[in-house]
């Protein structure tokens, strides 16, 4: 008995099927039987693909047309059917055999994938009970009453961190900002010093500052002179 999954619901047909030289030969040999032979041979191939084995043309003859013995003889004469009325074995292996090999390989890949998926699923814990679920590692609880070990444990480090040599300026209160000596504010940061060295002493800010200082000194001198002249007068 043929299993249902041995056949196909759709068969492979070449786009050059109607241009096969054997059809031209049959048209020359028995032109009156060409239509019936074409329909009967196509039905024979379809039935063979559906069942997964070669079926005789008598068993696969379609009900649309009456049975024609001359058409069957013409198909045998041009080589489309063998002496038993079956599709030629070479053509059958070339088309159906190749399709079946591809389908078997595809099914084998799916079977392996499903087996891996099933094995991975079986390794996962199932259920909510403690007997079936995976054990969860316990975490030691903190004692409510301070013990000797907890009293001797030093407090966590302060903000800023600590160095092994206990020379962290922030922890010791010796950071420049803590001593009100911010390098960025007084212009002594490394970046500012390098920039000043590249620009030299002709910075526009220094020139303007000196000009303002000279103008202020001049105003002060004029004021002192006016006061002195007023006293003399």
| Per-domain residue ranges of the chain | 4-97, 201-233
Structure tokens at 147: 């013990």
**pLDDT over 50 at 203, yes or no:** yes
Q: Distance (Å, rounded) from C-alpha 26 to C-alpha 70? A: 11
Cα-to-chain-centroid distance, residue 79: 53
For the segment 55-112, what is each residue's pLDDT rounded down to a tens digit? 999 999 999 999 999 999 999 999 999 999 999 999 999 999 889 899 888 888 888 8
CB 13 within 8 A of CB 41: no
pTM: 0.48
109: buried, middle or exposed (CB in 10 Å: 19+, 13-18, 0-12)? exposed
Beta bridge partners of 87: 81
Q: What is the mean pLDDT of residues 139-148?
A: 49
Q: What is the mean pLDDT of residues 106-127?
A: 81
**pLDDT over 50 at 194, yes or no:** yes
CB 170 within 8 A of CB 162: no
Q: What is the mean pLDDT of residues 200-226?
A: 68
Structure tokens at 108: 């084998």
- At 207 the three-state DSSP class reads helix
Q: Which residue has the tokens 């159906």?
A: 96
Give the pLDDT band of residue 154 (cuts 50, 70, 90). low
CB 191 within 8 A of CB 199: no
Q: Distance (Å, rounded) from C-alpha 168 to C-alpha 157? A: 12
Q: Compute the C-alpha angle 71/38/45, nearest 5°.
A: 105
Choice between 203 and 68, residue whose per-residue pLDDT is larger: 68
């Amino acid at each position: 008995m043929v299993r249902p999954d041995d056949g196909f619901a759709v068969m492979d047909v070449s786009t050059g099927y109607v241009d096969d030289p054997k059809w031209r030969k049959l048209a020359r040999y028995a032109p009156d039987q060409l239509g019936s032979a074409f329909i009967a041979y196509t039905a024979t191939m379809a039935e063979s693909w559906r069942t997964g084995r070669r079926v005789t043309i008598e068993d696969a003859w379609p009900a649309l047309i009456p049975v024609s013995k001359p058409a069957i003889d013409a198909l045998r004469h041009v080589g489309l059917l063998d002496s038993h009325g079956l599709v030629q074995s070479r053509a059958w292996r070339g088309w159906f055999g190749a399709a079946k090999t591809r389908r078997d390989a595809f099914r084998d890949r799916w079977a392996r994938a499903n087996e891996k998926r099933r094995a991975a699923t079986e390794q996962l814990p199932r259920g909510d009970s403690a007997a079936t679920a995976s054990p969860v590692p316990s975490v030691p609880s903190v004692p409510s009453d301070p013990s000797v070990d907890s009293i001797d444990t030093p407090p966590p480090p302060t903000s800023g961190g600590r160095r092994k040599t206990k020379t962290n300026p922030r922890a010791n209160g010796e950071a420049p900002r803590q001593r009100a000596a911010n390098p960025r504010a007084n212009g002594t940061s490394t970046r500012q010093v390098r920039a000043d060295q590249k620009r030299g002493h002709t910075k526009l800010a220094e020139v303007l500052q000196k000009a303002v200082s000279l103008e202020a000194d001049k105003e002060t001198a004029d004021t002192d002179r006016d006061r002195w002249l007023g006293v003399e007068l």
